[in-house]
Amino acid sequence: MTNSAPQPTDVSPIEVPTAVREAARAARRVTVLTGAGMSAESGVPTFRGAKGGLWEEFDPMTLASQRGWDADPDLVWAWYAWRIGLVRALEPNAGHRALARWANGGGVEVRIATQNVDDLHERAGSEVLAHVHGDLFALRCSVCGAPFEDEPEIPAEPVQRLEPPLCGECGEYVRPGVVWFGGMLPEGAFDAALDACLDADLVLVVGTSGIVYPFASLPDIARGHGVTVVEINPEDTDLSSGVDHVWRATAATALPALVEALEADPA
Ligand code: BJW
Alpha helices in 15-72 (DSSP H): 18-26, 37-40, 54-57, 60-63, 66-71
pLDDT tens by residue, 203-212: 999 999 999 9
**Structure pTM?**
0.94
pLDDT attached to residue 61: 87
Topology given in CATH for the domain delimited by 45-89+135-178: SIR2/SIRT2 'Small Domain' (3.30.1600)
Q: What gap in Å lies between CA 145 and CA 41, rounded to an integer?
A: 33
Q: What gap in Å lies between CA 131 and CA 117, rounded to an integer?
A: 7
Is 35 a pocket residue for ligand 1 (Cβ < 6 Å)? Answer: yes
Cα dihedral across residues 131, 40, 125, 243: positive or negative: negative
CATH 3.30.1600.10 domain range(s) in the chain: 45-89+135-178
Determine contact, residues 99/112, Cβ cutoff 8 Å.
yes
pLDDT attached to residue 55: 87
How far apart are the CA of 182 and the centre of ligand 1, in A?
11
Q: pLDDT tens digits for the chain (267 residues)?
A: 333 433 444 444 689 999 999 999 999 999 999 999 999 999 999 999 777 788 888 888 899 999 999 999 999 999 999 999 999 999 999 999 999 999 999 889 999 999 999 999 999 999 999 999 999 999 999 999 999 999 999 999 999 999 999 999 999 999 999 999 999 999 999 999 999 999 999 999 999 999 999 999 999 999 999 999 999 999 999 999 999 999 999 999 999 999 999 999 887
pLDDT attached to residue 179: 98
Distances (CA, A) of 155 to 57, 85, 117, 142, 257: 21, 8, 20, 21, 38
CATH 3.40.50.1220 domain range(s) in the chain: 1-43+91-133+185-267
Is 56 a pocket residue for ligand 1 (Cβ < 6 Å)? Answer: no
User: Residue of the nearest CA to atom 10 in ligand 1?
Assistant: 213
pLDDT attached to residue 13: 66
Nearest-atom index, ligand 1, CA of 46: 66
Does 144 appear as a known binding residue?
Answer: yes
How far apart are the CA of 73 and the centre of ligand 1, in A?
22
Is 179 a pocket residue for ligand 1 (Cβ < 6 Å)? Answer: yes
Q: What gap in Å lies between CA 192 and CA 169, rounded to an integer?
A: 31
Residue among 213, 220, 230, 236 to mutate when testing ligand 1 (max atoms within 8 A of CB): 213
Strand 174-178 relative to strand 134-141, pairing: antiparallel
The count of other CB atoms within 10 Å of the CB of residue 237 is 22
Catalytic positions, written as ranges: 133
Is 36 a pocket residue for ligand 1 (Cβ < 6 Å)? Answer: yes
pLDDT attached to residue 8: 41
Topology given in CATH for the domain delimited by 1-43+91-133+185-267: Rossmann fold (3.40.50)
Peptide bond into 214 cis (omega under 30): yes
Q: What gap in Å lies between CA 29 and CA 55, rounded to an integer?
A: 35
pLDDT attached to residue 239: 98
The residue among 231, 189, 224, 223 whose CA lies nearest residue 35 is: 231
